[in-house]
Amino acid sequence: MAQVLPMLTRARAFYSCGVLLNLPAHSRSGVRNDDGIVVFAMPAAAVRMDEGGWLCPLWRPAGRAGEEALDRASDEVLEHCRLAVRHGLAEGFLLYGDASLARASELLALRVVRAGAEYWAKWGAGERLR
């Protein structure tokens, strides 16, 4: 029988991946302390499948200004997307339910790509070939 992995809060999931968050209540990405790899939290509901595997939007330009902490979190994700593109790799985990629970032990190897003004995470068999 398969073991069901425990669900963690988003902040605890980052911590279990070695990432200390700048904005624990709002951050959706962070840099792992020991190796500098960017780790993203991605809502499972936003994941799509294409011919190369799976993809999920990480950052899009905001339509309007919002709460200051959320704007800072968006700026932080943009900075981390740019860093991940430069590094050529990143990692991520999916958020379930109301996008606040995760199984951090299910880390995904990601390639972050820019598409116009947006940044997307891509992973899967087709992505490993690139």
Rounded CA gap, 67 and 75, in Å? 12
The greatest distance separating any two alpha carbons of the chain, rounded to the nearest whole angstrom, comes to 48
Rounded CA gap, 6 and 111, in Å? 26
Q: Which amino acid is at 108?
A: L
> Is 0.75 topped by the overall pTM?
yes
- Can you give the pLDDT of all 130 residues of the chain as single tens digits? 556 667 899 999 999 999 999 889 889 999 999 999 999 999 999 999 988 899 999 999 876 555 555 567 789 999 999 999 999 999 999 999 887 899 877 899 999 999 999 999 999 965 444 4
Rounded CA gap, 76 and 55, in Å? 20
